[in-house]
Structure 1
């Protein structure tokens, strides 16, 4: 396939790709007794158990899984956090995140170039609606998709297939733009194209197919995509 051909739909991951998690990570660190070193463990535990839930044929909101992961990491470090407290930390943190500095300019550039922009997130429908309202991103997107409607978290292949079907496009006509190696890998294995935003601390999964675009921020990716025909 000619990689210079425009994708019909650009799908965007939300958390960390579009939204800056710094403020939320500080809140989580405070809940863990100020131990910032535990933040990566909390995040990977949240992702691990989102996959456990989906692999078991179940669904729980992403924020609830994040809260449960917070309780687990806390307990392993002799910190007791109630379910109510944990959910308050995670949900308030997720829903008040700012966009990364270059995001609005990049989205404007892509929209003016005629791309269809769709968000595809593990967050709930209500959660992403509030996130976009808080960050001022609502106007940039043609549609918002949440895995809540399919009941399986990314990176399950079924989830990418569902998203492509929702937009009535073939997998090879889709491009995922994300800052997580696992998300990019899942999209590529589902037959999508992908662009990786190499936010600090994020890496491409070496065993996945080669990613078409890899840049340090969304504006650099937009600059490349607007050269496609």
Structure 2
């Protein structure tokens, strides 16, 4: 059931949630022998090993994990891909376009007076480049990268750290993401959440249900702007 009071801070996931990863299909497909269909497997493998890194109390930047994951997917499909070639593909990660409704949605939320923060697994420099190229920089009050903390989402401590950085309690935070694992992690950390049900994305059935579930960010923005101010 939706809480009728506005959260104090909106936290946004970046990759796939705000930025459209489908533009990576061509570059990933090129190095994987035309297998553009392997893009989702590559991205999920990258997320898998970012979590393995955190669970093992290690930290490697997201781009390097992405390149390594690309080599793993290539090897499993009998495709030869060296480290240099894999890292070259990752450069395209910095030039992802926003989903079509994102700028309109962020404009609506900003005009409504919401404090908006990006919270991403990408590196600080990587996020800055992504936002500059996508034209999203000015929408956000803060931009937080897990690189600063040394652990990846959805580790509970990442959400606690982000809340403390903004000087708010977990209950006053809302995570907005297109990843079931991200909204689940946020809710388990005591946050509120909204799920962007983009094609191919699903909520985790064993996690609490987010307050808002919509097919795009603009529909979520419309719900959020209708909530009562404290």
TM range (shorter): over 0.9
For 1:78 and 1:85, how far apart are their aligned partners in 2?
Answer: 16
Give 1:62's aligned residue.
62
Give 2:216's aligned residue.
217
Give 1:18's aligned residue.
18
For 2:23 and 2:226, how far apart are their aligned partners in 1?
Answer: 34
What is the TM-score with the length of structure 2 in the denominator?
0.97
Give 1:85's aligned residue.
85
For 1:128 and 1:102, how far apart are their aligned partners in 2?
Answer: 20
How many angstroms does 1:172 deviate by? 0.4
For 1:186 and 1:52, how far apart are their aligned partners in 2?
Answer: 15
What is the TM-score with the length of structure 1 in the denominator?
0.97
Unaligned runs of 5+ in 2: none
Give the secondary structure class of the aligned counterpart of 2:118.
Answer: strand
State the Cα deviation string for residues 139-197 of structure 1 (Å, max 9, x = none): 10000000000110000000000000000000000000000001011001000000000
For 1:60 and 1:26, how far apart are their aligned partners in 2?
Answer: 26
State the Cα deviation string for residues 97-123 of structure 1 (Å, max 9, x = none): 111111111101100100000000000
For 1:120 and 1:87, how far apart are their aligned partners in 2?
Answer: 23
For 2:76 and 2:209, how far apart are their aligned partners in 1?
Answer: 37
How many angstroms does 1:2 deviate by? 7.0
Give 1:133's aligned residue.
132
For 1:161 and 1:60, how far apart are their aligned partners in 2?
Answer: 21
For 1:25 and 1:51, how far apart are their aligned partners in 2?
Answer: 23
Give 2:179's aligned residue.
180
How many angstroms does 1:30 deviate by? 1.7
For 2:151 and 2:11, how far apart are their aligned partners in 1?
Answer: 17
Q: Which moved more, 1:21-30 or 1:131-140?
A: 21-30
**Which stretches of structure 1, 4 residues or longer, exceed 3 Å deviation after superposition?**
none
How many pairs were matched up? 228
For 2:209 and 2:22, how far apart are their aligned partners in 1?
Answer: 29
How many angstroms does 1:93 deviate by? 1.7
Give 2:39's aligned residue.
39
How many angstroms does 1:37 deviate by? 2.7
Give 1:97's aligned residue.
96
For 1:201 and 1:47, how far apart are their aligned partners in 2?
Answer: 15
For 1:196 and 1:185, how far apart are their aligned partners in 2?
Answer: 10
Unaligned runs of 5+ in 1: none
User: Any conservation in 1 of the 2:179–2:195 contact (CA below 8 Å)?
Assistant: yes
For 1:25 and 1:118, how far apart are their aligned partners in 2?
Answer: 28
How many angstroms does 1:217 deviate by? 0.5
Report the RMSD for the aligned CA atoms in angstroms: 1.1
Give the secondary structure class of the aligned counterpart of 2:95.
Answer: coil
How many angstroms does 1:44 deviate by? 1.6
Give the secondary structure class of the aligned counterpart of 1:194.
Answer: strand
Give the secondary structure class of the aligned counterpart of 2:131.
Answer: helix
